[in-house]
């Protein structure tokens, strides 16, 4: 069951066009999507490099938070003609604060700059701020009339926390988010600071750019696939196919890094989807398979936990082999109660704790670790084992 629909002949024509420009060969006799090759970062790089020869592009890199970085040449137009036909959060007269981190080959900051340009509104290329810095900036932002903001949920929650701590008012009306999921604590903090704000989300990657969007009329975690695309859900990573021109990269059966499922949305629009998490979400702890997202959901459900992150010490068996799992969390919960809940909810972890008492630990911390390049809080951080 796919999300979205495309005529087979259109997909086949797109696959043949891509094959001549660095994409995968098209097998003779292919009669459906399942008969075409699954492609990855190598084909995206080859096709995007070919497409940049005439009009130029920006060499960007995705990944690096939980996986190996992937390179893509992004067309200067950044597919905004397609995007703004379906999703237009900004209008002339808006002034948006851009909290995405610039540089380091990360696309989000430059995508937002281009979105403002194509929307014919104003933008401040600020980058992220710590909560303690916000009080010094609010008077200027109010003076010039900032009424919109964009960033990761982490950066947006930092902004909201700074506004709340300052006791001042920043009357934002529009918020654009992407690049990581919301947690309950971050959403509550943002809504407390900006009670009249509307959430506008989009889902994509550097390789594909925007695939799906939502509006304030939607459920926060549900997005809608843009036209001329189809997604095949797959536990190993959903597969994206497109037709037509105007994309940053046209693609057929590109393997995304996320698991995606069909969904329903309160707005009633079709082709709704929900991002379930990374396809490489599981780790192996002393022989037991543990889902990172599932473990974090249990920890975050404990009263007094604001947010959580796993710190993993590598084992020797394989890339995802772990010999020690430490739960870091913020909030005022008791570490013992958090650990007890985790071991109770996951039978295998309880057994491991009995045989390896030091394999699973829980610590309350002042702040969770971040990726410097993107200012995101990743679900897990790797820590190398101490040398004997």
User: 223-251, pLDDT tens digit by residue?
Assistant: 999 999 999 999 999 999 999 999 999 99
Q: Where are the domains of the chain?
A: 8-26+36-278, 282-383
Question: Is 276 in contact with 258 (CB distance < 8 Å)?
Answer: yes
Predicted confidence at residue 315, as pLDDT, reads: 75
pLDDT band at 388 (very low <50, low <70, confident <90, very high): very low
49-99 confidence digits (pLDDT tens):
999 988 899 999 986 544 567 899 999 999 999 999 999 999 999 999 999
Q: Can you tell me the distance from the alpha carbon of 360 to that of 80, in angstroms, rounded to the nearest whole number? A: 47
Strand partners of residue 24 = none
Predicted confidence at residue 115, as pLDDT, reads: 98
Q: Per CATH, is 282-383 categorized as 3.40.430.10? A: no
Just give the CATH number of 8-26+36-278. Answer: 3.40.50.12780
Reply yes or no on whether the pLDDT at 316 is more than 70: no
What are φ and ψ of residue 102, in 5° steps?
A: -85, 165
Predicted confidence at residue 69, as pLDDT, reads: 79
Predicted confidence at residue 386, as pLDDT, reads: 55
Show the tokens assigned to 148: 């919109």
N-terminal to C-terminal alpha carbon distance within the chain: 52
330-352 confidence digits (pLDDT tens):
999 999 999 999 999 999 999 99
Predicted confidence at residue 281, as pLDDT, reads: 87
158: left (phi over 0), alpha (psi -120 to 50) or beta: alpha
Question: Is 154 in contact with 376 (CB distance < 8 Å)?
Answer: yes
Q: Can you tell me the distance from the alpha carbon of 178 to that of 201, in angstroms, rounded to the nearest whole number? A: 6
Q: Can you tell me the distance from the alpha carbon of 344 to that of 363, in angstroms, rounded to the nearest whole number? A: 17
92-119 confidence digits (pLDDT tens):
999 999 999 999 999 999 999 999 999 9
351-385 confidence digits (pLDDT tens):
999 999 999 999 999 999 999 889 999 999 988 76
Predicted confidence at residue 280, as pLDDT, reads: 85
Q: Name the pairing type of β-strands 222-225 and 209-214.
A: antiparallel
The answer to whether domain 8-26+36-278 and domain 282-383 are alike in fold is no
Residue matched to tokens 């993107």: 374
pLDDT band at 314 (very low <50, low <70, confident <90, very high): confident
């Amino acid at each position: 069951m796919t999300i979205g629909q495309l005529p087979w002949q259109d997909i086949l024509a797109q696959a043949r066009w891509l094959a001549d420009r660095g994409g995968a060969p098209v097998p003779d006799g292919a009669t459906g999507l399942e008969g075409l090759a699954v492609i990855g970062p190598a084909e995206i790089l080859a096709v995007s490099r070919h497409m940049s020869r005439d009009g130029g592009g920006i060499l960007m890199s995705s990944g690096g938070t939980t996986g190996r970085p992937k390179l893509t040449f992004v067309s200067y137009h950044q597919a905004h003609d397609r995007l703004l036909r379906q999703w237009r959060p900004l209008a002339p007269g808006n002034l948006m604060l851009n909290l995405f981190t610039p540089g380091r080959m990360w696309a989000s900051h430059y995508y937002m700059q281009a979105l403002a340009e194509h929307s014919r509104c104003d933008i401040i290329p600020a980058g992220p701020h710590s909560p303690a810095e916000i009080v010094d900036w609010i008077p200027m932002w109010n003076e010039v009339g900032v009424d919109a903001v964009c960033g990761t949920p982490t950066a947006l929650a930092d902004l909201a926390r700074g506004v709340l701590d300052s006791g001042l008012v920043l009357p934002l009306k529009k918020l654009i988010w992407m690049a990581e999921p919301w947690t309950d604590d971050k959403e509550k903090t943002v809504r407390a600071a900006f009670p009249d704000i509307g959430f506008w989300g989009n889902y994509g990657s550097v390789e594909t750019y925007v695939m799906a969007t939502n509006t304030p009329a939607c459920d926060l975690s549900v997005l809608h696939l843009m036209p001329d695309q189809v997604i095949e859900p797959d536990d190993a990573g959903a597969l994206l196919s497109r037709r037509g021109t105007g994309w940053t990269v046209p693609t057929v059966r590109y393997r995304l890094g996320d698991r995606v499922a069909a969904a329903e949305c309160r707005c009633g629009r079709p082709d709704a989807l929900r991002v379930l998490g990374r396809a490489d979400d599981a780790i192996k702890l002393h022989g037991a398979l543990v889902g990172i997202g599932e473990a974090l959901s249990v920890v975050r459900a404990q009263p007094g936990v604001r947010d959580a992150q796993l710190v993993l010490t590598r084992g020797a068996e394989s890339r995802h082999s772990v010999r020690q799992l430490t739960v870091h969390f913020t909030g005022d919960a008791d570490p013992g109660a958090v650990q007890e809940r985790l071991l109770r909810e996951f039978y295998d972890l309880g057994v491991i704790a009995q045989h390896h008492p030091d394999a699973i630990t829980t610590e309350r911390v002042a702040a969770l670790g971040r990726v410097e390049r993107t200012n995101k809080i990743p679900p897990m951080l790797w820590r190398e084992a101490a040398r004997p």
